[in-house]
Chain A
Amino acid sequence: MNKIEVKELYAEYSDKDGKFLALKDVAFNVREGEFVSIIGSSGCGKSTLLGVLEGIIAPSSGGAYIDGQLITGPETNRAVVFQHYSLFPWMTVRKNVAFGLKQAKHDLSRSERYAISDVFLKKVGLFGFEHKYPFQLSGGMQQRAAIARALAMDTDILLMDEPFGAIDAKNRANMQELLLSLWDGDGNSKKKTVVFVTHDIEEAIFLSDRIIMLTNSPGQIAAEFDVYFPRPRVHSAIREASEYINLRNKLMAIFYDENIGISANEEYAI
């Protein structure tokens, strides 16, 4: 069952130098409960692609569909975590989470919102930090709070735009494991569908069920890979596995291959 369908998507990106074709004929599907990563170097259009899924960037042709419905604007059936400024700096951590809840679920009272916020802050390990402002927290803690807000909104879909891009390597590994444990839960409950944008190949392999690689300007799908490692995954176990090393080397080879644009339509499989 496809949760997200992207069909013949073209999108333009404009800045002070003019307009560029950011995405060219991008098409892929994401199954319900699937964790898909989109990788590509900076400026390849992966953030534009996520912007289309968020509903804040209008495609120039084609489109993206959620449950068969064309995306025409932002909606609270999907939660977003950005690299920076997911949180509003003038709200305390709790108020940030509660604000997301208020937008997603209109019928909750303030005390209910605060109670739910605290539950999710506890889940991401921010118990005791509810009344801090974002600037008082480390970058990693801010992203935990942003994840807490996204999860508290209780959406089917989670969109993440390089959420761990500004966090140091050790904390990033912790955050990746935390994200997976929150997403996987007890292994029984319904999983969210995740689209995760990153430029970090190892991060993509560790997290994903499937990896979609984009070429550079304009962004086109270069290759897709399924990642079969069993879950739950932890870094210490996966890092040494030969399948992991093979897959990583293979992706690296394609990623750094300058001719990647030519082999755009070729499919690689593990």
Chain B
Amino acid sequence: MKMIFKRLFIIPNALFAVLILVQLLPDKPYRIKDYPLYTIGLAVALEVILLSVSFFVKKERFRRVFTDVVGVIFVFLIFWVLATIKFDLPGNAKQAVFPPPGAVLDRFVLDFGQILINVKDSLALIFKGYLIAVVIAIPLGLFLGWNTRIGDAAGYIAKFLSSISPIVYIPYAIVLLPTFHHASVFVIVLASFWPILASTVSGVLNVEKPIVDSAKTLCVGRFTMLFQIILPAALPHIFIGCNQGLSVSFILLVSAEMIGARSGLGYYVNNYANFGNYTNALAGVFTIGIVVTAITFLFNLLQRYLVRWKQ
């Protein structure tokens, strides 16, 4: 009984009630039309999931994280609703730029088919660029890091180059590469290439010497040393760069798809924003957020599997 109270009277549940009550306030006139039922529907769906998680999930840590995340989403939605249709924003805020959540959700549902196609195209672009970066950067980083003569210098050079935004290279990419699509892929490749290269080089330089000695006494060849000893030993470190590269890829997706793309989430956001339709643009922005979260989650699973041997 005590446990039920403890799990029922948590802040996110109170926030849920506030979010529902806020909808009862009168709307300010002349705003973008809101569809509060969508907001309420989303809130109820989250609340149902939250309740079932807090009563049926045994893992303490998962429960805590999930509760906190849902709480933050509720707070965000409350402020969003209040700021866009219930009160006047300070300053000379343009109303068209601030659609209420219900309107964005409405477009999301109406345009869902189109959005899915764009998700698919963007993922294909990122996958292509990211894969090329991984396939080149990791072996190159292993080679550079292992050759102690150039390893230190390579680390610094990679760090320097990784600090330059790939957007700078866009005009060169357009001039040098055969199609706009190639240029888009190139931007993603660069976005992930330098962080992965830098972390691979420093990962190799940080491999514990006894591991290398142990491998040397077993007379491993050059190829075995690089790919069966150094690569796995440096892998936890390499993953730092891979994670970073993945985030930068998604950040640059919009820029990459500015280059003559005819589809993709970046194109979708850009296109609607250019025409002043921020309701659809925001639907695209949130879709990117959801996709990034899902990809990061899967990526973390992969990482946990590949370095399962580490304490």
A residues near B, CB below 8 A? Answer: 51, 54-56, 74-76, 78-80, 82, 84-91, 99-100, 103-104, 133-135, 159
Contacts and interface: CB of A to CB of B under 8 A. Distances in A.
Contacts, number: 61
17 contacts: A54-B213, A54-B216, A74-B216, A74-B218, A82-B214, A84-B210, A85-B208, A85-B210, A86-B214, A87-B214, A89-B211, A89-B233, A90-B233, A90-B235, A90-B310, A99-B228, A159-B217
Contacts of A90: 232-233, 235, 307, 309-310
A83 B235 CA distance: 23
Contact of A88 (B211, B219, B311): B211
A75 B220 CA distance: 10
A267 to B, nearest CB: 32
B229 interface: yes
Interface of B is mostly: helix
Contacts of A159: 217
Interface of B: 208, 210-211, 213-220, 228-229, 232-233, 235, 307-311
Chain A CB within 10 Å — which of B218, B228, B235, B310 has the most? B218
Contact of A56 (B213, B232, B235, B307): B213
B219 A103 contact: yes
Given A56-B216, A88-B211, 5 more contacts: A88-B229, A90-B232, A99-B218, A133-B309, A135-B309
Contacts of B308: 133
Nearest to B229: A88
B270 to A, nearest CB: 43
Contacts of A135: 309-311
B276 to A, nearest CB: 54
Nearest to A85: B210
Contact of A103 (B220, B232, B307, B310): B220
Interface of A is mostly: loop
A139 to B, nearest CB: 13
A76 B221 CA distance: 12
A165 to B, nearest CB: 13
B210 A82 contact: yes
Nearest to B213: A56
A85 B217 contact: no
A51 B216 CA distance: 11
Contacts of A133: 308-309
Contacts of A134: 309
Nearest to B307: A90
Contacts of B215: 88
A151 B309 CA distance: 24
A183 to B, nearest CB: 19
A134 B208 CA distance: 16
B210 A100 contact: no
A76 B220 CA distance: 10
A133 B311 CA distance: 10
Contacts of A56: 213, 216-217
